[in-house]
Chain A
Amino acid sequence: DQQVKQNSPSLSVQEGRISILNCDYTNSMFDYFLWYKKYPAEGPTFLISISSIKDKNEDGRFTVFLNKSAKHLSLHIVPSQPGDSAVYFCAASGSKRIQGAQKLVFGQGTRLTINP
């Protein structure tokens, strides 16, 4: 039962253009969503997050959009840079009011390659 899905295993984007990574979820109890970036042989690095009470959160070149009705979120990177090449994971968790809901449920990841 894959509760968080990233349907694109890979994405290739030209340097300077916009990268859009997508993520879908099935569990309506999720109310926090996060994006992580992972380089080979390293642990995931936190990028940006969003609460279900918002539909957009922006941090520099990174913007996350949340569409609760569609159970869909996306990460936009503008402009894309060669250093952005990595595997990106979306993750979701439930309310902190519910014990055990704080674990993160991850998607399978999307490998982003930025071409010069």
Chain B
Amino acid sequence: DTGVSQDPRHKITKRGQNVTFRCDPISEHNRLYWYRQTLGQGPEFLTYFQNEAQLEKSRLLSDRFSAERPKGSFSTLEIQRTEQGDSAMYLCASSVLRDSLNEQYFGPGTRLTVT
């Protein structure tokens, strides 16, 4: 299967701890996105990369959040000093830049629970 993969699938952490999630996009996709989804809502955009460049960050992304995409391949999303409000599903998606519709393909997500 060559879809988007995310690791871990589930993470339980105590408030104040740091967590890091990984996303591996579809291999030929040069764009990578992070979204967050809470119960009863649609996914909300956090940030995106084109190759290794981080081109946009949402106002939702506080300074406790940082994302990287070294060498334009996999990406990591780190949350420092987690808070209970950070509990959510964190989704990664990838797409390829071409003259077609902006179809983004999602991974299975990482469910974060902050206790």
Which A positions have Cβ atoms within 8 angstroms of B?
Answer: 4, 32, 34, 36, 41-46, 49-51, 89, 91, 93, 96, 99-100, 102-109
Contacts and interface: CB of A to CB of B under 8 A. Distances in A.
Interface of B: 4, 6, 31, 33, 35, 40-45, 48, 55-56, 58, 91, 93, 95, 97, 101-109, 111
A62 B16 CA distance: 46
A51 B45 contact: no
B45 A105 contact: yes
A103 B107 contact: no
A-B pairs, top 10 by smallest CB distance, nearest first, are: A106-B42, A43-B106, A103-B45, A49-B101, A100-B56, A93-B102, A44-B106, A43-B108, A32-B102, A43-B109
A91 B45 contact: no
Contacts of A96: 97, 102
Given A43-B4, A99-B56, A103-B56, A91 B42 contact: yes
B40 A42 contact: no
A28 to B, nearest CB: 17
B49 to A, nearest CB: 11
